[in-house]
Structure 1
Amino acid sequence: MAVTRSNSGLDVVLDAGRTIFHQRREQIRQALAKRKVYRATFSELAALTDRDLRDLGIPRSNIKRLAMEAVYDC
């Protein structure tokens, strides 16, 4: 006995919508996770004293760029 399933046009559209929704939701989750790492990195570097930054060879003006590179591979 063979079982067949007939998809109506609406079922196909709903399945595509669910797929797009789940993909978009995952993209947003990943973006939020990256943003969290960026903010933590930025905060930790910004909290260092000028002397600590100088010892590391990091000018204070490069903190944002370094945090972006650490997360987004810019």
Structure 2
Amino acid sequence: MFVSYILSKVRAYMRYRDTVRELSMLSDRELDDLGISRFQIESIAREHAVA
């Protein structure tokens, strides 16, 4: 049970990191098309990692 909890946290962190990296690579114009501001990237990534 403890190991599965740790693995889920590691996977969530990896999803967070990947999402931040991918969104950060987008231009401001592309982010605007998605309705995202640069300052929102981390919170959006955090939400995605939990889901």
Q: Give the TM-score normalised by the residue count of structure 1.
A: 0.63
Q: Give the TM-score normalised by the residue count of structure 2.
A: 0.88
Question: With CA pairs under 8 Å and 6+ residues apart, which has the higher RCO, 1 or 2?
Answer: 2
Compare the two structures and name the one with the higher helix fraction. 2
Higher-Rg structure is 1
Q: Which residue of 2 aligns with 1:45?
A: 23
Q: Identify unmatched segments of 5+ residues in structure 1.
A: 1-22
**Equivalents in 2 of 1:33, 1:70: separation in Å?**
12
Paired residues, what number? 51
Identity %: 35
- The 4+ residue runs of structure 1 with deviation greater than 2 A are none
Question: Following TM superposition, by how much is the alpha carbon of 1:24 offset from its aligned partner in structure 2, in angstroms?
Answer: 1.3
